[in-house]
Amino acid sequence: MNVEKDSLHQETHEITDLILAAKEKAYQETDDTPEPELTQSVGWPVECTVGPGLEGAIACETKIGYVNGGKGWLVYGGYNIFDLCAYSNYEEVSFLLLNGRMPNKSEFTEFKQKLMAARHIPNTLRLMMGFPVQDMNPMASLRIGTNMLRQRLTWRDMAKAKPSEELAVETDADAIDMDIPQSGQDHATYEFKRGHGQFNKPASARESQDDAEGMDACIHLISAMSVLTAAISRIRSDHIPIEWHPELSHAANLLYMMTGRIPTPVEERIMDVALILHADHGMNASTFASMVVASTLSDIYFSVGAGIAALNGPLHGGANEMVVKMLKEIGSPDNAKAWYAEKRANKEKIMGFGHRVYKAYDPRARILAPLAEYLARDNVQARKLYETAKSLEGEVIETLGKDKKIFPNVDYYSGIVYTCLGIPDDMFTPVFAVSRTAGWTARILEYIENNRIFRPRAIYTGGFVTDYTPLEQR
Ligand code: ACO
């Protein structure tokens, strides 16, 4: 790509250089031909070999992104992930995912203004504070927050259906009094005061998009998710949520709202890269979960809620937190060999390794590893985590890498990066959700254009009972 590297990131070219070095190494280890069977239009029904967990199943066509697992490629809208991390930013990447092309200058300015406006969710935050966020799993809080954001949507649905206005509680237009007692039940009553949602559900995908399922809802979710995540982090550490800063980027705002400190250019840049890296990734479990919900013509807020729920699991986005826990348990690089030998003998899985699609080194880990090393230079604790991670990686690659093509995945180094950026361990997965909202919403929007409800089948291996035995005779 012919881009002056100084033009976009004046103060952070060391970061750009690390990304470009990772790109060069990746390109040396792979060739540049895509898989023909996965990169051209198919006729439906398509023939493919399906394994358990839908391994290998083709569910739809997409222009949003492509993962070549054999070669370790990740592509969004035609652009490879290394170039996007080296030259772009999360806002531009979100536009790319949602629109299938890069914005021009005026489109980009307008898009950023919309993202900024969508950060204004004071009443949703106020409602959040009525929940025991301190004691809840942060991903559960995020899911509740997403559900409360939905109120804007139901308001629109209601306006269409014209129900009586006093039935509605609109979270982001000061419809709820500010002086509701903190423990009051009204805090949780965010849908309909009398509990019957009488709005018209959209009958078709097109109608549902025209309503509030479209771009506005995507932008609302992308922005609001970062505000919610930061607020959850603050509340959990006994602080009051911080208002977003109008002059900061999406990445800088996320860190600022979480930590209360304006990040340095390097911190902002690395957060931005981490957001780009996690923005989309094919038909992964959380994306698929959100698409399944959307395919029923449920709305996009419920769909993103499903994505959050799926991402939470330790086999998916929850692994980033587990990795740091594991590295702390190992304690030092010297302990990695013995620790790993024991886990291997017990056939235990090593968090942050392996992937359903990648059978080569995950390009996201290629980028995150040197960034973790860079950030950990002046941080003794993080340095120890990084060196322990490197030592364990060597052991795993020597064995599982050679035998089963198991390499570090995106979650292996991201936790160390987040730690250096001042993000608490239990907020790693919510921060992942902040990034992935662009991918979830973009793929929902694309899929619903030619919607068909997801409905696979299962092989029944149970028996058939012909004589029903009444309970008292069993
Ligand atoms: N450590 C040790 N062995 C592993 C690992 C691992 N992390 N991952 C896979 N294997 C082994 C399995 O034991 C299995 O061995 P076998 O054939 O001898 O039975 C083989 O590799 C295939 O593994 P599966 O679990 O069947 O692979 P699958 O595609 O179903 O799972 C997954 C992929 C869930 C990511 C798996 O590699 C794993 O559990 N990794 C650890 C958790 C993790 O890091 N998750 C984050 C993934 S990235 C993301 O979601 C954002």
Question: Which of 74, 281, 286, 353 is the pocket-test mutation for ligand 1 (most atoms within 8 Å of CB)?
Answer: 353
Task: Give the number of the atom of ligand 1 that is nearest the alpha carbon of residue 281.
Answer: 51
- With 0-12 / 13-18 / 19 or more C-beta atoms within 10 angstroms meaning exposed / middle / buried, residue 407 is buried
127 contacts 191 by C-beta, under 8 angstroms: no
Q: Is 355 in the pocket of ligand 1 (CB under 6 A)?
A: yes
- Give the residue whose CA is nearest to atom 27 of ligand 1: 356
Q: What is the DSSP string of 439-459?
A: HHHHHHHHHHHT---------
Residue nearest to atom 20 of ligand 1 (CA): 404
Q: In 3D, which of 458, 448, 433 has the Cα closest to residue 60?
A: 448
Determine whether the shortest distance from the Cβ of 434 to ligand 1 is under 6 A: no
For residue 348 and ligand 1, the question of a CB distance below 6 A is answered with no
**What does the alpha-carbon distance between residue 332 and residue 339 come to, in Å, rounded to a whole number?**
10
Q: What is the pTM for the complete model shown?
A: 0.89
218 alpha-carbon distance from chain centroid? 13
255: which 2 tokens?
């860190």
Atom number, ligand 1, closest to the C-alpha of residue 349: 1
Query: What CATH number is given for 96-175+209-317+438-448 in this structure?
Result: 1.10.580.10
Q: Which atom of ligand 1 is nearest to the CA of 344?
A: 2
Q: What's the burial of 100, exposed, middle or buried (CB within 10 Å: 0-12/13-18/19+)? A: middle
The confidence score (pLDDT) of residue 172 equals: 52
Residue 68 phi/psi, 5-degree rounding, is: -105, 100
Which ranges of the chain have pLDDT less than 70?
Answer: 1-10, 151-213
Query: Which residue among 54, 67, 74, 315 has the greatest number of ligand 1 atoms within 8 angstroms of its CB, and so is best to mutate?
Result: 315
> Which residues on adjacent β-strands are paired with residue 281?
283
- Say how many Å lie between the CA of residue 122 and the centre of ligand 1: 41
* Crossing angle of helices 215-236 and 250-259, rounded to 10°: 30
Task: Give the span between the Cα atoms of 337 and 410, in whole angstroms.
Answer: 22
- Asked if residue 411 has its Cβ within 6 Å of ligand 1, the reply is yes
Q: Please give the span between the terminal C-alpha atoms of the chain, in angstroms, as a whole number.
A: 73
CA distance 81 to 20: 11
Neighbouring CB atoms inside 10 A of 449's CB total 9
Q: Check the CA dihedral 76-78-81-83 and report its sign.
A: negative
Nearest to 90 by CA among 278, 254, 275, 364: 275
Residue type, 150: R
Q: Fill in the DSSP letter of residue 134.
A: G
* Nearest-10 crossing angle of helices 151-161, 138-149: 30
Handedness of CA 91, 92, 97, 99 (dihedral sign): positive
Hey, whose CA ends up nearest to atom 6 of ligand 1?
349
Active site residues: 316, 355, 411
User: Which residue, judged by its Cα, is nearest atom 21 of ligand 1?
Assistant: 404
pLDDT at residue 34, as a whole number: 84
In the reported structure, the alpha carbon of residue 353 is separated from the centroid of ligand 1 by a whole-number distance in angstroms of: 7
pLDDT given for residue 298 in this prediction: 86
Tokens of 230: 């930061």
Specify the pLDDT at position 36.
Answer: 84
Ligand 1: distance of its center to the CA of 297 in Å?
Answer: 33
Ligand 1 atom with the smallest distance to the CA of 55 is 29
DSSP string of 385-413, one letter each residue: HHHHHHHHHHHHIIIIIHHH---B-HHHH
pLDDT for 162 equals: 47
Residues near 99 by Cβ (< 8 Å), separated by ≥ 6?
none
- Is the minimum distance from the CB of 81 to ligand 1 under 6 angstroms? no
Q: Whose CA is nearest to atom 12 of ligand 1?
A: 349
Model pLDDT for residues 419-464, shown as the tens digit of each residue: 999 999 999 999 999 999 999 999 999 999 999 999 999 999 999 9
Residues in the chain: 474
CB of 407 shorter than 6 A to ligand 1: no
> φ, ψ for residue 294 (rounded to 5)?
-60, -35
Give ∠ CA 213-94-231 in degrees, rounded to 5.
Answer: 80
- 433 C-alpha vs ligand 1 centroid, how far in Å? 21
Residues 6+ positions from 71 with CB-CB distance below 8 Å: 30, 31, 360
- The Cα-based distances of 13 to 8, 115, 194, 293, 294 in angstroms read 9, 27, 57, 42, 41
pLDDT of 152: 52
CA–CA–CA angle 383, 371, 90 (5° rounding): 140
Q: What pLDDT score does 10 carry?
A: 62
pLDDT at 175: 38
Question: Residue 171 region, left (φ>0) first, then alpha (ψ -120 to 50), else beta?
Answer: alpha
To test the pocket of ligand 1, the residue of 286, 312, 316, 349 to mutate (highest count of ligand atoms within 8 Å of its CB) is: 349
Q: Which residues contact 278 (CB under 8 A, 6 or more apart)?
A: 364, 410, 414, 432, 435, 436
Positive or negative: CA dihedral 215, 270, 384, 344: positive
Decide: 319 in ligand 1 pocket, CB within 6 A.
Answer: yes
CB 286 less than 6 A from any atom of ligand 1: no
What does the pLDDT read at residue 411?
A: 97
Alpha-carbon gap, residue 336 to 395, rounded angstroms: 8
* Burial zone of 424 (CB within 10 Å; 0-12 exposed, 13-18 middle, 19+ buried): middle
Centre of ligand 1 from the C-alpha of residue 315, in Å: 8
Q: Helix or strand or coil: residue 192? A: strand
